[in-house]
Structure 1
Amino acid sequence: MNFRIQYDRQDEFLPICEDFNEMAVRLKESVTKIQQQEQNRKELLAGISHDIRSPLTSIQAYVEGLMDGVARTPKVQRSYLATIKTKVEDLDRMVSQLFLFSKMELGDYPENSIRLRLDEKIEAAVLEAKEEYKEHGLQLITDLTPVTVTADPIQLERVISNVMGNSLKYKEQEKGLLRISLIKNGATCTLTFDDDGPGVPEEALPHLFEAFYRSDPARQNPQKGSGLGLAIVKSIITHAGGSIQAKRSEFGGLKIEICLSCEEGSESDGKNTDRGR
């Protein structure tokens, strides 16, 4: 595949040689793409095995404890059963995320786009989650400009929920902060999630949206989630014609920046809805 024909004469054989060289280039690119896909498949399978093994091991240990009589009192038995239930729910969420990701990889996306106010969608998501997040020590602050987009509302909810949940999962301090801002610039808008969590190394930022990315030590614990949340977010945003990137946050943590197309006209009175949660 690396062989090329060197032919300098200006005769009838020159186009044939050029076609051969072009075919060799395309063949090499095709083989490289297939090899990369195979490597991605292996990494995906390794990630699935890694993440499923942990809750299964816990379930097995607690079931054996119940069978062997280690949990002697009703109180301890209930505690064991509650832990088993939690691990089963973790597995269910993991399988659901994997199923969704697999469908997206095959190009199976819902096509239910409608006109909607993105700022109102974000406010609704924050309102729904604020009590739970407050209990876990994460304060939500919004700074939102009214913006109208055309998008699938369910997929937008998934994007907002997954990114917010990512900040909650990796919060290390007792109290944390997540600032969600939305600004508009003509026919585009930028949605930003800024947290003060542990952040990630600079070299890891471009890889955060890869399924089961493991090079960042802070993200190697399968109990933190399925490893697919941000990969699903990128897939949704890319399919919608937008872009997403990860940066270092001004608060010392992680910044997720999403750019989407929006309507150019003014919404409402054009004022921001700035609220602390």
Structure 2
Amino acid sequence: MIYQDPQEMREAQYVSINLHIALIAFFVFIGFVIVMYFTNRFLIKFVFKKIEQPISMLATGVHQISDGNLDYRLTYQEHDEFESVCMGFNKMAEQLKSSMEAIQKSERNRKELLSSISHDLRSPLTSIKAFVEGLLDGVATTSTSQKEYLEIIKQKTDDINSMVSQLFLYSKMDMGNYPTYPEKLAIHQELSDFVLACQEEYKSKGLLLTITNQVDVPCIFADPVQLRSVFANILSNSAKYKKKEFVHVHIFCTKQDDMIQIAFEDDGPGVQEDSLAKLFDVFYREDISRSTPRQGSGLGLAIVAKAIQRMNGKVYAQNREQGGLRIVIEIPEMRQA
């Protein structure tokens, strides 16, 4: 019988237990690694499958926009993290489209502006040249005819000077370089004073002015000089395009919510419906006025629109059912402190 030392037996058992523990730990670790590996593979495949469609949609959208299709929009039905991304893409596309349309409109306006300036300068310059040549060639032989020629030359020169001055004013307003000195104004008093001061002058031009005030001492914050210039340009427009000896212009002042509304209504010829939205464009005039340059440069209402915009208001035109044109100004009411 072999005698074994108890101490050695305990040491052998201890080594055996440690070996079993090490093996178990090793296999547990290997199993854990295997489980993590397959779990990661599954998760990666699942997540990738979930984001594959949105990423593909975004890639398609980017290609469409880069190819010039600014009307392309993403349609995403899920309510997850990509919903906000797709909404942001659509918003970006909409803003890009608006910017491109603004650039294209600006380019069209620039071309129209150059064309209009060329036309409006050519007409009076041609007349001036013809009358100067008439004077030099001795066509005007009497002092009376010579004076008539010189008066026509002066009139055409005044037309050019007026157009250049208005163009300079509009350009400064468009660039934001035109000084403005707004102050608190009682609009009913401003209208009354303006009509009282100018009534006879406009009567001599064929305009009969009346005013109806339907507001209780409202105030606006505006430059009084620019505001009177707005009134004058609107009335000048009515005078230039009237087709009868006298045109009645009724001025209404009312309050609509937080806006003060000033309407100029005449019983003149009105304008074509498709021209209403263009009346406040630079150099816009209906074709009939092209044959009568004395009717103006087409800058008056454009200046009106710029001035009202600087007062945080808006202006628009409508045809009256009874005939004639209605130009409406809306300016925010100044709140009392």
TM-score by length of 2: 0.70
2:287 aligns with one of 217, 221, 224: 217
The answer as to whether partners of 1:125 and 1:161 remain within 8 angstroms in 2 is no
Q: Which one of the candidate residues 237, 244, 247 is aligned to 2:318?
A: 247
Is 2:268 aligned against 1:197? yes
The residue aligned with 2:17 is none
**Structure-1 separation of matches of 2:59 and 2:186:** 52
Greater gyration radius: 2
Distance of aligned partners of 1:243 and 1:31 in 2 relative to their CA distance in 1, 3 Å threshold: closer
Of residues 83, 87, 101 in structure 1, which corresponds to 2:156?
Answer: 87
Contact kept, 8 Å, 2:238 with 2:268, in 1: the verdict is yes
Q: 1:156 aligns with which of 227, 235, 256?
A: 227
Superposition deviation, residue 257 in structure 1 = 0.6
Partner of 1:229: 300
Q: Pick one of 144, 153, 175 that aligns with 1:75.
A: 144
The residue type equivalent to 2:173 in the other structure is M
**Within 1, Cα distance between the matches of 2:325 and 2:61?**
46
Q: Does 2:51 correspond to 1:11?
A: yes
Tell me if the contact between 1:200 and 1:218 (Cα under 8 Å) persists in the aligned partners. Answer: no
- 1:42 corresponds to which of 102, 111, 119: 111
Residue 130 (1) aligns with residue 199 (2): yes
Q: Distance in 2 between matches of 1:135 and 1:264?
A: 39
* Higher mean C-alpha displacement, 216-225 vs 167-176: 216-225
How many equivalent residue pairs? 257
Question: Hey, what's the Cα distance between the residues in 2 that align with 1:180 and 1:28?
Answer: 40
- 2:37 maps to what in 1? none
The 3 A distance-change label for structure 1 pair 147 and 30 is closer
- Whole-angstrom CA distance in 1 between matches of 2:274 and 2:310: 26
CA apart distance, 1:185: 3.7
- Report the CA distance between 1:14 and its aligned residue: 4.0
Describe the shift of the 1:138–1:29 C-alpha distance in structure 2 as closer, same or farther (beyond 3 A): closer
Secondary structure of the structure 1 residue equivalent to 2:271: coil
Mean Cα deviation higher: 93-102 or 218-227:
218-227
User: Structure 1, residues 53-72: CA drift from partner, whole Å, max 9, x if none?
Assistant: 11111111111111111111
* Residue 59 (structure 1) aligned to one of 103, 122, 128: 128
Q: Is the 8 A contact 1:118 1:147 kept in 2?
A: yes
Q: Which has the higher strand share?
A: 1
Is the CA contact (8 Å cut-off) linking 1:200 and 1:254 kept in structure 2? yes
Shift of 1:20: 7.6
Q: Distance in 1 between matches of 2:233 and 2:49?
A: 60
Deviation at 1:77, TM superposition (A): 1.0
- 1:262-277 to 2 correspondences below 5 Å: 262-263=333-334
> 1:199 offset after TM fit, Å?
0.5
* Alpha-carbon distance in 1 for matches of 2:174, 2:244: 35
Q: Of 96, 112, 117, which aligns to 2:181?
A: 112
Q: Which residue identity does 1:98 align to in structure 2?
A: L
Q: Is the 8 A contact 2:222 2:311 kept in 1?
A: yes
Contact 1:177 1:195 in 2 (8 A): yes
* Larger proportion of helix: 2
Point out the more displaced range, 138-147 or 40-49.
138-147
RMSD over aligned CA atoms reads 2.4
The residue number in structure 1 matching 2:84 is none
Match of 2:61 in 1: 21
Q: Is the 8 A contact 1:194 1:255 kept in 2?
A: yes
Cα distance, 1:233–1:11 mapped onto 2, change above 3 Å: same
Partner-residue secondary structure (3-state), 2:268: coil
Matched residues in 1 for 2:189 and 2:322: separation?
25
Cα distance change of structure 1 residues 263 and 218 upon mapping to structure 2, 3 Å threshold: same
- Distance in 1 (CA, whole Å) between partners of 2:186 and 2:135 is 52
Q: Deviations over 1:198-219 (max 9, x none)?
A: 11011111111111224x3344
User: Which piece of structure 1 moves more, 140-149 or 78-87?
Assistant: 140-149
SS state at 1:11 partner: helix
Q: Tell me by how many angstroms 1:12 deviates.
A: 7.0
Is 1:50–1:222's contact at 8 Å kept on the other side of the alignment? no
Measured after TM superposition, the shift of residue 16 of structure 1 is: 8.4
